[in-house]
């Protein structure tokens, strides 16, 4: 079972990995982070403990020279087609002072309108597990999607509202925001499937599907929601309700 971990500067990596491994000793862990985490201590620790890593690597002149041929090829393709072009190179690299050994580096040679956009990633994953293109596009770049989900909760569900005087009150606010995100994510994954809102962010879901005017009538057996005939997403709302009904509800607590 693979487990991808997005790192942050304050994370005690060894403690987190110990907790994850406590649930399943067979879990295969890969740490993914930007160039701020490309440090000898972290890479050496991962190598010594058989933990995978995929880390961004800051550009320098030596790396640019190593990717020179691929950059020329990408530029030639861009000039011929007018579309952004990419090439990848897999090579071994070692810094002059800071690294203790030679490591695998994947370089992305990309040419965008009027400029080159090279990027580099260092990893201890073998080529047999992930080639250069897959390693960069499928394993490293998806970290941006994780960041989008964090921003979605922070900005769309107000996880940044921590201005209360006490830490306990701020913690409660974060709990509410986290609960809301879990519910929103479940609604998007199960209820919005097959609708135009299937990939909508929380802010869009709230404004177009939840924060709307409706007449609510409660009877003994049903709750009736009456929308305006001018509501543009009435058909989507019916589809969402049908989607949700396909999944059994949780049994009441005993």
CB 24 within 8 A of CB 4: no
The pLDDT of residue 1 is 42
Q: Rounded to two decimals, what is the model's pTM?
A: 0.64
CB 103 within 8 A of CB 94: yes
Distance between CA 236 and CA 141 in Å, rounded?
Answer: 32
SS3 117: coil
DSSP state, residue 27 = -
Residue-level pLDDT, tens digit, the chain, 254 residues: 445 455 544 457 788 888 888 777 778 889 988 898 899 999 999 999 889 999 999 999 999 999 999 999 999 999 999 999 999 999 999 999 999 999 999 999 999 998 999 999 999 999 999 999 999 998 998 777 777 888 898 888 989 888 889 999 999 999 999 999 999 999 999 999 999 999 999 999 999 998 888 899 999 999 998 888 888 888 898 899 899 888 877 665 55
CB 105 within 8 A of CB 92: yes
The pLDDT of residue 44 is 95
């Amino acid at each position: 079972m693979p487990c991808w971990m997005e790192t942050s500067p304050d994370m005690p990596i060894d403690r987190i990995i110990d907790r994850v491994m406590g649930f399943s000793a067979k879990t295969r862990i890969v740490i993914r982070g930007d160039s701020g985490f490309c440090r000898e201590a972290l890479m050496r620790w991962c190598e010594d403990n058989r933990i995978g890593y995929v880390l961004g690597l800051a550009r320098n002149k030596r790396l640019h020279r190593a990717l020179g041929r691929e950059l020329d090829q990408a530029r030639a393709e861009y000039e011929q087609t007018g579309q952004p072009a990419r090439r990848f190179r897999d090579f071994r690299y070692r810094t002059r002072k800071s690294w203790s050994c030679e490591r695998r580096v994947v370089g992305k040679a990309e040419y965008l309108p009027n400029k080159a956009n090279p990027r580099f990633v260092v990893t201890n994953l073998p080529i047999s597990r992930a080639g250069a293109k897959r390693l960069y596009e499928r394993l490293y770049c998806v970290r941006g999607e994780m960041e989008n989900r964090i921003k979605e909760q922070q900005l769309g569900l107000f996880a940044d509202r921590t201005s209360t005087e006490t830490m306990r009150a701020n913690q409660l606010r974060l709990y509410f925001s986290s609960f809301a995100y879990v519910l929103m994510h479940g609604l998007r994954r199960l209820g919005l499937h097959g609708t135009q809102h299937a990939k909508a962010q929380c802010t869009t879901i709230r404004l177009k599907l939840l924060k709307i005017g409706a007449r609510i009538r409660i009877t003994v057996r049903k709750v009736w929601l009456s929308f305006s005939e001018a509501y543009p997403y009435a058909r989507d709302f019916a589809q969402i309700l049908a989607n949700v009904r396909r999944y059994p509800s949780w049994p009441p607590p005993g």
